[in-house]
């Protein structure tokens, strides 16, 4: 039996609308994911509301304003939700979670505000790695360091508090603010993999450096 053209068109449109609705629901669920700890090794501590540092455990939900620090031979994976995804804080590092997507705050922001697609971190010491996926329109993922401000648009990266950046693929912007000097904007695009240092700017990344960062990203932490 032949289906008349208008009926066939209606069935196709219904199917397309259904698929679009499923994608929208999945995207909303991903974006609403509560930031939390998903992997840990060694000794890691957290401070809420500028309070004392206490041991951090996997599964703990994170709030804007939290400060996390790792000891020697320690690391922690933080799931920051859609876009930024999972970032890794390596040993002897300290990061402040200035603003998180959809998280309850420990300072002034209220949950459910328009901050759901903005992530702001301050890396005080050590290094942070991650793989940022292209996020929804308007999403911003920023990491402050003592020497500047990085905005990760997408890709695999490593950022060190001393102002050294590595990008394996994707795109990242860095506003370098040297002590006593003038701010300068730099753009990192990969592939090929590249890196930034305060002395030489953006350069192609040597194989040894690429291998080092890849191995750091691949390493598995305990649940």
Per-residue pLDDT tens digits for 39-79: 999 999 999 888 999 999 999 999 999 999 999 999 999 99
Mean pLDDT calculated for residue range 18-25? 46
Domain ranges across the chain: 1-31, 35-218
- Residue 134: its pLDDT value, please? 80
Quickly state the pLDDT bin for 9 (edges 50, 70, 90). low
Q: 35-218, what's its fold?
A: Jelly Rolls (2.60.120)
- Residue 16: its pLDDT value, please? 55
pTM of the model: 0.78
- Residue 5: its pLDDT value, please? 57
In the predicted model, is pLDDT for residue 116 greater than 70? no
Asked if 187 contacts 201 with a C-beta cutoff of 8 angstroms, the reply is no
Q: What is the mean pLDDT of the chain?
A: 83
In the predicted model, is pLDDT for residue 195 greater than 90? yes
């Amino acid at each position: 039996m032949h289906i008349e053209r208008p009926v066939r068109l209606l069935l196709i449109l219904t199917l397309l609308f259904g698929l679009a609705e499923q994608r929208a629901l999945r995207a909303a669920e991903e974006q609403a994911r509560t930031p939390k700890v998903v992997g840990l090794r060694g000794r890691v501590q957290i401070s809420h509301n500028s309070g004392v540092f206490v041991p951090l455990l996997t599964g703990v939900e994170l709030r804007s304003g939290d400060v996390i620090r790792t000891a020697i031979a320690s690391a922690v994976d933080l799931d920051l939700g859609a876009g930024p995804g999972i970032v890794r804080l390596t040993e002897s590092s300290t990061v402040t979670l200035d603003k998180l997507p959809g998280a309850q705050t420990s300072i002034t922001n209220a949950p459910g505000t328009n901050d759901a697609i903005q992530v702001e971190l301050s890396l005080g010491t050590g290094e942070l790695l991650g793989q940022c996926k292209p996020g929804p329109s308007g999403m911003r993922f920023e990491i402050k360091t003592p020497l500047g401000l990085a905005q990760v648009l997408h890709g695999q990266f490593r950022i060190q508090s001393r102002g050294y950046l590595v990008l394996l693929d994707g795109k990242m912007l860095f506003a370098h603010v040297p002590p006593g000097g003038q701010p300068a904007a730099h753009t990192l695009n990969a592939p090929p993999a590249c890196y930034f240092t305060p002395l030489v700017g953006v350069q192609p990344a040597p194989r040894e450096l690429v291998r080092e960062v890849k191995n750091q990203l691949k390493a598995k932490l305990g649940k």
